[in-house]
Structure formats: C-alpha cells, structure tokens
Chain A
Amino acid sequence: MEPEIGNFETEMNRGFLQILVLALLEKEMYGYSMVRTISDLGYVVEENTLYPLLRRLEKNGWVRSRWDVTEDRPRKFYGITDAGRALRTQLLAIWKKQDEILKHLMEEQTHV
C-alpha cells in the first residue's frame, strides 16, 4: 500500500517554496505571474499559500512590494531586498548541505 504523503509533502514544500520565491524575485513579479512561472517550471503552488508567504517575507524585510496602477487592473509587484538575498544564500547553503547528507547516506546504503 502506498503511504499517504500529503502532510509530509506540505511540510517539505513550506521550506522549498520560500527558497523558490526568493530565487524568482530577483526579477520583479506579481502573484499571478509567479504562479504561472512556477507552474511552467513543473511545480504546483496553491495561490492561497503564495500570497500569505509573500506577505510574511515582506513583513520581515526580505521582499518589498509596490502597487502598479498603470494597467487596467492594479497589480502588486514583489522584488527581493538585500536582506532577502542574504537569506536566500543562507537557505541555499542549508539546502545544499541537507542534499549532500542525504546523497551520502543513500550512497552508503546502496553499497552495503
């Protein structure tokens, strides 16, 4: 029987989504365009998860936002800040380390 991974996936996605968003926002983007870009990359993000995450990142000073009202419809654009870049570097280092540990462990187990 296949194990139910829904909750585990949600837990894992939480951290991954933060890095993904910080990586994407090197270029200014608004919510819907981010959902589309992420979807084109082969990953699915729930819209109702993305916006609260953006708000939390903004509150902590890792992203900034501005409303663009020049088009027919007002859009809120987000971009990364210097603090966000520093955070992204740290998070990527953690992720890399975790990936190395898992790879190393799996390799060891394959050779046993």
Chain B
Amino acid sequence: MFEKLEAYLEEISHFLSGREEREEILSEIRSHILEKAERESGPLTASSLEKVIAAYGPARRVAEKYLEGREIIAPAYRRYLFRYTALLFAAHTLLTVFGVLFKEDFIFFPFLFMPRLGVIEALMYLPTAFLTDLGIVALVLIFITQSKKDVKLPWPKFSVDLDEVKAPKKTFWNILGLIPMLAVTDFALYLYVKHHTIFFANLDFANPRPLFTPDAGVRYSVVVIAMLAAGTVALLVKLFTKSRWVDVGSSVVSLALIGLLLRQPFDHPFVVSVPERFLPKIKFGLKFALLFIALMVTIDLIKNLIVIGRKKLAR
C-alpha cells in the first residue's frame, strides 16, 4: 500500500539532492499525505493515498519550491556567461591560429596549454576549447553568485556587444546577395566543366592557360566550387527561414572545406614557371589567407551559436 508513497518521496528526494534537511522535508510530506488521506477518505487505502499524492503535485515541482531563490548563476550575471565565453574563445582561437601558423606550443601556465596542432586537429580542437571556456566562465560566475557579493563585472565597450547583434538580414538583401553568388557559382561550374579547372594564368578566355597542374587544378577547383555552392545554398535557404542554424551549418561546411583545402599537397602545383625560392613564400601566404578566412568564419560561427544560446536561455 505504501509503495507508491515511498516511490513518490524517493522521487522528491532525488530532485532535492544536496539539501541537508532533505530527510526532514520528506518526513513532513509523508506525515501530511498520510494524515490527509486518512482524514478525508477514512481508513488508508492504496487508492486514497494515490489521490492525495496526485493532488500534492509532481515530484519535481514540489522539490523546486524548496529550491527557489537558490540560483546557480544570479540573473544579473547570466548575460556575462556568453559575453566572457566569447572573449575567452576569441583569444583561444587566435592562439590556435598562431599555433598552426608558427608550429609552436603555447603555455600560459597554469591556465592554458596549446599543443602544436595541424589544421584539421585545430578545427577539431576548437569545439572542445569552446566548451572548456564556457565551463570556466560558468564556474567563475557560480562562485561569484555563491559568494553573495555585489560584484560589478566589467565589459569593455570596444568588444562586440552581443546585445547589439542584428537580426538576420531581410529577404531583399538575401536576394541581392544570392544573385551574384549564383552567377559566380554557375560561372565557376561552367569553367570547371569546360577546362577542368577554375584557376588560370591569363585572362584570355579563347585560349586560357591553366595556373595549376591538372591534378592540383581539379583538387583546388572542386573545393572552391563546393564552398561557393555551400554559400549559395545557405542564401537560398535563408529566403524561407531566418533561423541562425542555417548560418551555423554554412560556417561548419565552409570550415570543413577550408580544412580540406589546407590538407591538399602543395608540391610544385604550378604549370607556369615559378622560381623555387618563391614557393615556400607563396605556400605560407596561401595558408595564412585560408587561416584568416577560417578565423573569420569561426568568429561568425561562434557569434551565431552564442546568439542562439542566449535566445534559448532567455526563453
């Protein structure tokens, strides 16, 4: 007969986990339920107990009433969770880019150790870094909340204020962006189908001279066309929805393609003669440009993820 009552109390106990007076709370609820069932329905039966338990309310709701006013992060500090995470992650991303570019380890003892990473490893590392940064900021804000002190947290004016991030662009601007993107993508496809490359050493379309060797030309062209196509598809989808997830998806695809591009071998890819001594410099320049684009795309990705997160939190 009492199994349901004990199961109910056990459930409340689960949600009250961590409260030192848990046993006393449960004893009081048990006493109340038994007395109410007895007084209002006569001798105790399983069904009378069940009725009183149902009237007392769902276990989680009951437990939450005891937990009111015990915020993990105070409402005044909540917006700093994403603000500070954005700053920390921007610094983290910058160090990752330096790590990839200069092939160096970075140690800021005891806070941060950035091992030397390849491009793909760096792209794989960034989501983990984001979660770590979010966790660190959350932990600091929890400590501040628990200290019950009125700490005024700074927020530099020169940084990106996420409160001012504008809503996704309106359809008119999407169409305006979509037209040149479609034209460029189509033209690139046309060039690729006709010449198996989209990179040329001259501007004479009657007699074009490919810039790269056939193998390198195909590899680089396919990746660049895929990037253009991803951007075009994203703009097309945004005609029908304003969801920021479209931008997130587009950024992820772009990052993956940039990673793929950076992984392509770069040993004598040119058909035209390029002095041997310039090759490392060109390689470095291209890598730097691609990493810079990757950084911009990552910042956009983070901004969108943070805005999505903030909206969810606000809801």
Contact = CB atoms under 8 A, between A and B. Distances in A.
Q: Is the interface of A mostly helix, strand, loop or mixed?
A: helix
B283 interface: no
B66 interface: yes
A35 B36 CA distance: 10
Contacts of B27: 74, 76
Given A55-B25, A74-B27, A49 B32 contact: no
A74 B35 CA distance: 10
Interface stretch (B56-64, B93-101, B167-175, B267-275): B56-64
A111 interface: no
A56 B55 CA distance: 23
B34 interface: yes
B34 A73 contact: yes
B31 A76 contact: yes
A47 interface: yes
Nearest to B59: A48
B13 to A, nearest CB: 15
A74 to B, nearest CB: 6
Interface string A63-99: 0000000000111100000000000000000000000
B71 interface: no
Interface centre among B28, B56, B68 (most CB of A within 10 A): B28
A32 interface: yes
A56 B25 CA distance: 12
A76 B66 contact: no
B111 to A, nearest CB: 39
B28 A51 contact: yes
What bracket does the count of chain A residues touching chain B fall in?
A: 10 to 19
Interface string B24-47: 110111011011100100000000
Given A48-B57, A48-B61, A55 B66 contact: yes
A108 to B, nearest CB: 37
A51 B34 contact: no
Interface string B66-81: 1011000000000000
A55 B24 CA distance: 10
A95 to B, nearest CB: 22
A107 interface: no
Interface of B: 21, 24-25, 27-29, 31-32, 34-36, 39, 55-57, 61-62, 65-66, 68-69
Given A32-B39, A49-B65, 20 more contacts: A32-B31, A32-B35, A35-B36, A47-B32, A47-B55, A47-B56, A48-B56, A48-B57, A51-B25, A51-B28, A51-B29, A52-B66, A55-B21, A55-B66, A56-B69, A73-B31, A73-B34, A75-B35, A76-B24, A76-B28
The 8 closest A-B pairs by CB, nearest first: A52-B65, A48-B62, A48-B57, A52-B66, A32-B35, A76-B28, A31-B32, A32-B32
